[in-house]
Chain A
């Protein structure tokens, strides 16, 4: 596939990546609830069924069978890309990810593998109920053997999906639905497949390092811009890949910014991955002073938009927290 460019929103970028993988990798299958004929409840898989026939298909509402069949098909040489419509629904079939998929390579000493991709989306959108609002990456990250990525831009969404499909282990690609219909951007397609992993230094500055991932990256960048107007420059490292995690870039940045580290994520802070990032920095001896974690408090997420907004980090709360942090 030759390199070229495409102007798409996030959903379009995922669609383009799936199309490329279906075209380039004959072992891929794409399936899930409403993904084929309807083209996905968010329209992300639109048109793929028409072009790839029975390698793209709709399934019953049976998450356990969706994930379990992906494990079995992957063990037999296919590369299934399966959709779990909302990350919350992963929980009804977590056995297939945690007990099953994540064990295949390890326990068989590599004689069996499960190169599957789970596509899902999470996050909070106004009026979503408590069972459709959770940010569950920490659940996944506690499971060795599962790769996890949470892109925030069309280009990253494209690159992450292509890399995930070519990776030889189970990868969970977690979108945030609030990103799907954002601005269209020009992305580069058709580049050689990159390895999974990596991060982006999105802003540079000496006041502190801010590590973030997923949709809230945009709020962090907005907050960083506001801080810059107030003459406080922070380094922002976006780490879309949470496993493998780019420790090197993060630790180097923290060291360069005087050991000051803040982590911002949309998920709850209690036992969140932010705690892991902070701990790694502490263990590496690069922290000085207290770190900062910004995320949702340990509570359930209510449906009323005003109530949910009171819990979730936005550009204002992030800006406020970072300003206090960098002033301290």
Chain B
């Protein structure tokens, strides 16, 4: 219990510290282009990825740094990717919004809303044909629920009974627009249920709760039960992209979100057991700092090789 809590906190701090560093690099100009941070949403990746096996395949969105880290992709090449370095996970080709680390079961971000859902369906399909019980996981936001492609993917997985976990991170916003303006009611799970897919809404700021729900859903899916849907209720503490002034949010709302966010909650839970999270934070920050320094010293991507890899 206590070890679990500490491990979760450490995993979440790694993501938080990574994201804070990226945020700083956006300010200093070391990272350019549009960057979507998951500060405040760390519990989802940590909880879900904690239940995945090595051969499982995860497909995320542009807000995917935390998912890549939780999946085990090392920090330095992730940083290097964002910095456009030759040592980046994609040699600078992917960037913040479209990076991948397939050797860690991270089959990539996607910057087209909803596009990854059907890739997960295909990964599960491939698993069926290669005789593994691979679980495929796709992560998308609440706003992506309004893409036809997501509905098509869910129905497709359902009728083929494929082991796909559809993870919807409900942070209440699609870019600058609240989800309440974009759909009737707030029961995202109803849409999955309507397609015959078991669906659970869970506190997405509690890694243990996420893990528990995902463990059950994943087991059923692997055993032939077909897809499942989990709604991770969470919030981002930062703008949609770095630089978003968030004029669409009230101060009260931001305060409530800060109250609910997972790291502060986990620290408080530790404190109740008489433990201090500060050492865990320090350890995570140290790992992140060292990776950041190493990545900064890495060589830039090689423009002479920019045309390579288009074809075999």
Measured CB to CB, the residues of A under 8 A from B are 33-34, 37-38, 41, 58-65, 88-89, 92, 125-132, 297-300, 302-307, 309-311
Q: Which residues of A contact B96 (CB under 8 A)?
A: 127, 129, 303
Distance in angstroms between the alpha carbons of A65 and B148 in the assembled complex: 9
Contact A304 B301 (CB under 8 A): yes
Among A34, A126, A131, A302, point to the contact of B32 (Cβ < 8 A): A126
> Which residues from chain A contact B176 at a C-beta distance below 8 Å?
34, 37-38, 41
Across the interface, do A304 and B182 meet the contact criterion of CB distance under 8 Å?
no
Residue of B with least CB distance to A124:
B33
Contact B84–A303 (Cβ < 8 Å): yes
Tell me which of A62, A303, A309, A310 contacts B146 (CB under 8 A).
A62
What are the 10 closest A-B residue pairs judged by CB atoms, nearest first? A127-B33, A303-B95, A304-B84, A304-B92, A60-B146, A127-B32, A38-B176, A310-B303, A129-B98, A302-B93
Contact, CB under 8 Å: B112 / A131: yes
Residue of chain B at shortest CB distance from A93: B148
Q: Is B271 close to A, CB under 8 A?
A: no
- Are B306 and A125 interface neighbours, CB within 8 A? no
Q: What is the distance, in angstroms, from A38's C-beta to the closest C-beta of chain B?
A: 4
Chain B positions within 8 Å of A, measured between CB atoms, are 31-35, 62, 84-85, 88, 90, 92-98, 110-115, 143-144, 146-149, 174-177, 181-183, 247-248, 300-301, 303, 306-307, 310
A303 engages B177 (CB within 8 Å): no
Distance in angstroms between the alpha carbons of A59 and B181 in the assembled complex: 9
If A92-B112, A127-B96 touch, whether A299 touches B146 (CB-CB below 8 Å) is: no
Contacts A306-B84, A307-B92 given; indicate if A131 touches B97 (C-beta within 8 A).
yes
Do most interface residues of chain B lie in helix, strand or loop, or is the interface mixed? loop
Chain B, residue nearest A308 (CB):
B306
With a CB–CB cut-off of 8 A, which chain B residues contact A300?
93, 310
Contact of A88 among B35, B112, B307, B310 (CB under 8 A): B112
Asked whether B93 lies within 8 Å of A307 as measured between CB atoms, the reply is yes
A299 near B97 with CB under 8 A, answer no
Q: A89 contacts which chain B residues (CB < 8 A)?
A: 112-113
B62 to chain A: closest residue by CB = A129
Measured CA separation A131–B149 after assembly (Å): 17
Docked CA distance A101–B306 (Å)? 38
- Report which of B33, B112, B144 forms a contact with A303, defined as CB distance below 8 A: B33
Measured in the bound complex, the distance between the Cα atoms of B147 and A61 in whole Å is 6
| Measured CA separation A54–B84 after assembly (Å) | 44
B200 to chain A, nearest CB (A): 23
A41 touches B84 (CB 8 A): no
Please report the C-alpha to C-alpha distance between residue A92 and residue B307 in the assembled complex, in whole angstroms: 26
A residues near B32, Cβ cutoff 8 Å: 126-127, 305
